[in-house]
Structure 1
Amino acid sequence: MRKQASCLSALALMTAFGAQVASADQQMLQDKCGRCHTATGADLSRIEGQRKTPEGWMMTIVRMQHQHGLEVTADERRSLVQFLSDTRGLAPAETLPFRYALEKDPDAQEAPDEPMGSMCARCHTEARAALQRRTAEEWLLHMDFHVGNYPTIEYQALGRDREWYRIAKEEMAPFLAETYPLETREWTDWQNHDKTAVAGDWIVMTELPRAGEAYGRLTVSGEASPYQVSGTMVTAEGASLPVSGHMNLYTGYEWRATLDIGGESYRQVLAVSADGTAIEGRQFLRDTDSLGGRLTGARADTGADSGAVILGTVPSAIPAGAATVQVVGSGLGTLDASAGAATANDYGAAVTLETEGNGIVTFTSGDAQGSIAHYASLDGIAVEPAFTIARVGGGSDISPAAVPARFKAIGLWNGPDGEAGTDDDVRIGRIAAEWSVSNLHEQAERMDDAGHAGQIDQVGIFTPALAGPNPDRPFTTNNAGELKIVANAMGQTSAATLIVTVQRFIDPPIR
């Protein structure tokens, strides 16, 4: 039975998106995909029964190229991804629980419930299934697709110990159709939502892998994808890094940018807020996506009527003494600080401080509030992330590059009760630390994992060792290992767990 045109008709969706969806792209879809997919009015078979993220549609088109001989240029593929994402995408509320997969967050951990854990997430993330919507018929066909493309799936671990195909067809397909249906209230509401133009100036705050905490101002220009992006990022030490590149906006909110920042290539995977005033997501090195950080942003002040926004401070914490702190935000022309003097600038306001001992300086501007801690002593530190993985790499022409890991030390106070690990503990912010590596347990000690798996520098970046057999290790095993990453600062010590594992040879946009 045909689904309602409000969800599936490309013509109706083009009307909803106005000028953002060009009829030329609809014609391109017909020309490129209609050779295999049957036309059903304004729609095409199979395509009409699915909705996906930009990355999901890119994966589909690339698979059509590799397996079915689809011929498209890079520009045509980008246009198809744009059109399909705009007309058959996911609403912000639908992607929100699973954005870690789109952002390639290396520290995200899943704990899928059954049956998702054994039936789906044993091969890829739960998010990969959850970041798409299908009709019941399409979910059923998706089970057969898995068997056709991966015929050994029934004989792998967690497949051969059960009636995998029967469970997939009779239990998983109905479960997925109910959990992730094609038609949802969230998608209907988003289609009808007034989209705000993304062009203009944005104030942003993030972390750069080696430079640390940073803030900046990005200018987005253009009327449609690809937009041009220019601007400047400033490090906590005051170094200015020029920014240039381009950005595509999909589905009215999915921000995907490729930028040069100070001579390094970065990727931004962000979401624009429903009211068009904020952006949030992750920015990472294009060739090493494990190295990056969260990015938040707000529209730059557009006049006296604009509300003030405080994103945070750079640095996030300061040793007691003289310091200049950048309060990052928008509309901070009249920033009140509980100490020091504030001066507005292009990134919010700079506050000059002279502090003693341990304490907190607060900032207010209208309804916006923020703070920064100054410290002369610490009660403890925490290493973030507390658990993550790295991957050995290199060593041959076919081995993927090593995947490093990034750590930072966070200062802590015990709070009024004087006890660590309670609700009133105070997170001071990022602090400088000395870094080292040790073995995680006795077996790691016997294998000397710390001596072979890799090294950490004093920025907090762990670089794994080469892949492949190592004749210097017992059993000529590879350089995988289980480690403690240890931070020392101001007499305090803390550690995180790092698993150094083997290469990832297949690395799709959604893992």
Structure 2
Amino acid sequence: MRLYVIENVTPQERLPRLSICTQGKMSGAKGDIRVKRLPVTKLGLLTLFSASVVFAQGDNGPDSATMKETEAGIPVADPLVKEKCGSCHSADDKGNLSRISWVRTTPEGWAQAIKRMVRLNGLDITPEESRSIVKSLASSHGLAPEEARPVMYLPEKRIIDEALPNETMRGACASCHAYAQPLSWRRSKLEWKTLQDLHVALYSQADAQYRRPAEDAEQPAGRDPKDKLTRGDYALTYLPKVAGLHTPEWAAWSARQRNPRLAGEWLVVASVPGKGKFVGELNVAPGKAADEFTTSATLRSLADGGTINRTGTGILYAGYSWRGSSKGGAAPAKPDDLVSAARETMWFAPDQQSAQGRWFWGEYQEFGYDVKLVRATAAPTILAVTPGPVKAGTKGVQLRILGNNLPAAPTAADIDLGAGVTVTKIVSASPKELVVTADIAPAAPSGQRDVALAGAVLEQAFPVYRNIDYIKATPETALARLGGIKFAKGYQQFEAIGYDNGLDGKPNTGDDVALGPIEADWAMQEFMTVSYDDDMKYVGALSPTAFFTPGEEGPNPARRFARNNYGEVWAVATAKSAKDKFGKPLSARAYLVVTVPMYQRFDQPEVSR
């Protein structure tokens, strides 16, 4: 058998309808196209012959192999990178390595690229060499802090509703993975084209996505309606503009990047859904290399006063991007145990004085501490204020101001709690905690209050509210995964969050004041999809503390059609004390999808080790 492959297809030679020929031409919708013959076996035909591979160049111009880079590359200086990558990626007289010198990405991006080279091209590399190369390229061909920060939710393993530029880019780049995936890279125009070709060659669905017309709003003015711009073509004009290789941010960071100086004491503020807030200290010590560290943390719960101790290690990539791991001293007793072994992802400010990120664990990284760090100094620092929201008109409310190096003998006049809040008494004072009583004026406006003391300021430290006008069950859209037999389960923790309508008196507007978690009763309700819906019986159980445990994976003989235990339900929160103007308890619900295990994963946990 022989396979006929298209040669030299131009952007105008679309291929919507094709028929196989046995001679030297192929008939298409726009005339004859030259082909060449390749002898293949029947097995080879089954492996190779798909429209997405054979016609990969049909829509977007000439083969990338025949195109030349017009942008300046970023030279590679590391001898190990040259040794391991140079056999395939040719060097030029400027120190560039083909392909590599025209891309920049995160530590996860480079780890992913090395894995692909091992799988597809037989790269021979040890774990130690791989780790060294990821470190090197994340610094010399990485992202600037300002470029990485908007997409940190991807390595932090957060599930969020992404902000997308338009529906065309959703279809081109966010149908199969997060939009943050391409935005975690910076590429030359040619490299964006080459990446698109790779997707077409490896993933048949990508070809279909790219060939669809761009949305009408993204069609160029005056273009022939019969020859619409495709999603793929639009992406190749859009991505070089927003994620090009050379940017002012990278130029500045390349000159500014310096060795990490993280050793010392850091102050920690953390929160965990369903567990509350924590404050504490993180001690960082130098590790085996200049960019490696060991850590020990002590966290104290603001809810019950309990203490958690954790130890770990970390690497600071590119002078700002922390990847680490830590664990508590005891074995975890349950999936959401706060001593569980966790991976750590944090973004350090360029001045290396503060950081923020997530320490996460779970089979699907569904549990985690949201953390903020600030370097401990001799100056006073305010970390948190409890108990949290206070109601206008309340007198004698007791507030705890937690921090570091707080004044030993402050007066009431030294403490500023914001508009309408007056300190009436100092109950106790220590370097770590200041307890005061305060009166809240009846006319105090709803909103967050800053706390100022001895030159230290904590912005949005606590909210003042007039009423709890409505609540939300969060996350409002949630995902859990079946498991327990061959696969681990993916859990979900919910919370009920109270809100004040704010100054405009209207719900769900920009001035609404979030008051934090409130006490609520929890239950599940059926999400009606079909007439015989019975999902609530099988998907799992929701505890009184809003912790959802999914059912087991696999066919269930007790269920109609022996379906798996997947399904859709509502998680419903009913406030225990907050009521509406009619005296009815406030309620809210979150949409929960319970689905099958994730059978294939794309992850780079090794960057945290």
TM-score range, shorter chain: 0.7 to 0.9
The aligned counterpart of 1:181 is 244
- Could you tell me which residue of structure 2 aligns to residue 221 of structure 1? 285
CA distance in 2: counterparts of 1:64 and 1:265, whole angstroms: 30
Aligned match of 1:412: 499
Any conservation in 1 of the 2:183–2:243 contact (CA below 8 Å)? yes
Query: Does residue 9 in structure 1 map to residue 99 in structure 2?
Result: no
1:162-191 Cα offsets, whole Å, 9 max, x none, are 79xx95775433432233111111101111
Give the helix-richer structure, 1 or 2.
Answer: 1
1:101-139 Cα offsets, whole Å, 9 max, x none, are 221112334545243222221111111111101112222
- The letter for the 1-side match of 2:591 is T
Kindly indicate whether residue 536 of structure 2 is the aligned counterpart of residue 464 of structure 1.
no
Matched, 1:145 2:229: no
* Residues 195-239 of structure 1, C-alpha deviations (whole Å, 9 max, x = no match): 462222211112235643222211111162321111201112111
- Seen in structure 2, the aligned counterparts of structure 1 residues 434 and 73 have a Cα distance that, compared at 3 Å, is farther
Mapped pair 1:401 → 2:488: yes
Compute the displacement of 1:96 (Å). 2.7
Distance in 2 of aligned mates of 1:426 and 1:117: 31
Indicate which of 324, 341, 361 corresponds to 1:265.
Answer: 341
CA–CA separation in structure 1 for the residues paired with 2:202 and 2:382? 49
Q: CA deviation at 1:377?
A: 7.5
Shift in alpha-carbon separation, 1:119–1:373, aligned structure 2, 3 A: closer
Could you report, residue by residue, the CA deviation over 1:379-424 in whole angstroms, capped at 9, with x for unpaired residues?
Answer: 432222222222223433xxx4332222212223345666544555
Secondary structure, in 3 states, of the residue corresponding to 1:8?
Answer: coil
Q: Which residue of 1 aligns with 2:19?
A: none
Relative to structure 1, the CA distance from residue 404 to residue 357 in structure 2 (aligned partners, 3 Å threshold; closer, same or farther) is: farther
Aligned mate of 1:438, from 511, 525, 532: 525
> What is the alpha-carbon distance in structure 1 between the residues aligned to residue 346 and residue 340 of structure 2?
19
Q: Is the 8 A contact 2:149 2:347 kept in 1?
A: no
Distance in 1, matches of 2:596 and 2:509, equals 37
Which segment drifts farther, 134-143 or 498-507?
498-507
**Structure 2 CA distance for aligned equivalents of residues 324 and 227 of structure 1:** 40
1:35-67: CA deviation from partner (whole Å, max 9, x where unpaired) = 222123533221111100111111111122222
Q: Distance in 2 between matches of 1:152 and 1:324?
A: 60
- In the other structure, the counterpart of 2:87 is 35
Q: Aligned partner of 1:292: which letter?
A: G
Contact residue 296 and residue 311 of structure 1 kept, 8 A: no
Aligned residue runs from structure 1 range 66-81, under 5 A: 66-81=119-134
Identical-residue share of aligned pairs (%): 30
- Cα distance in 2 for partners of 1:344, 1:30 equals 57
Q: Tell me if the contact between 1:107 and 1:387 (Cα under 8 Å) persists in the aligned partners.
A: no
Taking a change above 3 Å as real, the CA distance of residues 389 and 328 of structure 1, as seen in their structure-2 partners, is: farther
* 1:96 paired to 2:173: no
Could you say if the C-alpha distance between residues 469 and 38 of structure 1 is closer, same or farther in structure 2, counting changes exceeding 3 Å? same
1: CA distance, partners of 2:511 / 2:464? 18
1:312 aligns with 2:399: no
Q: Relative to structure 1, is the Cα distance of residues 362 and 225 closer, same or farther in structure 2, using a 3 angstrom cutoff?
A: closer
In the other structure, the counterpart of 1:391 is: 481
Match of 2:320 among 253, 261, 269: 253
- Higher relative contact order, structure no. (Cα contacts within 8 Å, ≥ 6 residues apart): 1
Per the TM alignment, residue 76 of structure 1 is displaced from its structure 2 partner at its CA by: 2.2
Q: Deviation per CA, 1:266-312, whole angstroms, max 9, x where unpaired? A: 12211111222211122211544122242222111x22xx4x55443
Indicate the SS of the match to 1:276.
Answer: coil
Report the 3-state secondary structure (helix = DSSP H, G, I; strand = E; otherwise coil) of the residue aligned with 1:103.
coil
CA change 1:384–1:315 in 2 (3 A) is farther
Q: 1:407-457, CA deviations, whole angstroms, 9 ceiling, x for partnerless residues?
A: 2122233456665445554322222322221123x3368412222112222
- Shifted more, 238-247 versus 469-478: the winner is 469-478
Native 8 Å contact 1:221 1:228 kept in 2: yes
Matches within 5 A, 1:315-394: 316-317=388-389, 327-329=401-403, 332-333=406-407, 336=415, 338-339=422-423, 340-341=426-427, 343-346=429-432, 349-351=433-435, 363-365=451-453, 366=455, 368-369=457-458, 370-372=460-462, 378-394=468-484
Pairwise CA RMSD = 3.4
- Tell me the amino acid that sits aligned with residue 368 of structure 1: V
Q: Which residue of the other structure, out of 199, 202, 207, is the alignment partner of 2:266?
A: 202
Match of 1:232 in 2: 298
1:479 to partner: Cα distance: 2.0
Tell me how far apart the structure 2 counterparts of residues 37 and 229 of structure 1 sit (CA, whole Å): 38
| CA drift at 1:84 | 0.7
Alignment partners' CA distance in 1, 2:600 and 2:511: 44
Q: Separation in 2 of the partners of 1:426 and 1:410?
A: 10
1:84 aligns with 2:137: yes
Q: How far apart are the structure 2 equivalents of 1:322 and 1:232?
A: 32
Q: Following the alignment from structure 2 to structure 1, what is the Cα–Cα distance between the partners of residues 364 and 396?
A: 36
Query: Do the aligned partners of residues 176 and 424 (structure 1) sit closer, same or farther apart at CA in structure 2, a change above 3 Å counting?
Result: closer
2:17 maps to which residue? none
8 Å contact 1:312–1:327 — kept in the other structure? yes
* Secondary structure class of the residue paired with 1:43: coil
Give the structure-1-normalised TM-score.
Answer: 0.83
Which of 1 and 2 has greater Rg?
Answer: 2
Q: CA distance change for structure 1 residues 127 and 476 in 2, over 3 Å: closer, same or farther?
A: same
Name whichever of 70-79 and 317-326 sits farther off: 317-326
Range that drifts further, 369-378 or 138-147: 369-378
Query: What is the CA distance between 1:253 and its match in structure 2?
Result: 0.8
Query: For residue 212 of structure 1, what is the aligned residue in structure 2?
Result: 276
Counterparts of 1:424 and 1:137 in 2: how far apart (Å)? 45
Change (3 A) 1:57 1:119: same
Taking structure 2 as the reference length, the TM-score comes to: 0.70
Q: Indicate if the aligned counterparts of 1:204 and 1:295 stay in contact, CA closer than 8 A.
A: yes
Gaps of at least 5 residues in structure 2 are 1-68, 215-228, 330-338, 578-584
Aligned counterpart in structure 1 of residue 254 of structure 2, from 166, 170, 191 = 191
Match of 1:507 in 2: 601
- Verify the 8 A CA contact 1:128 1:510 in the aligned structure 2: no
Q: Structure 1, unaligned stretches of length 5 or more? A: 12-25
Equivalent pairs, count: 481
Q: Distance in 1 between matches of 2:404 and 2:321?
A: 22
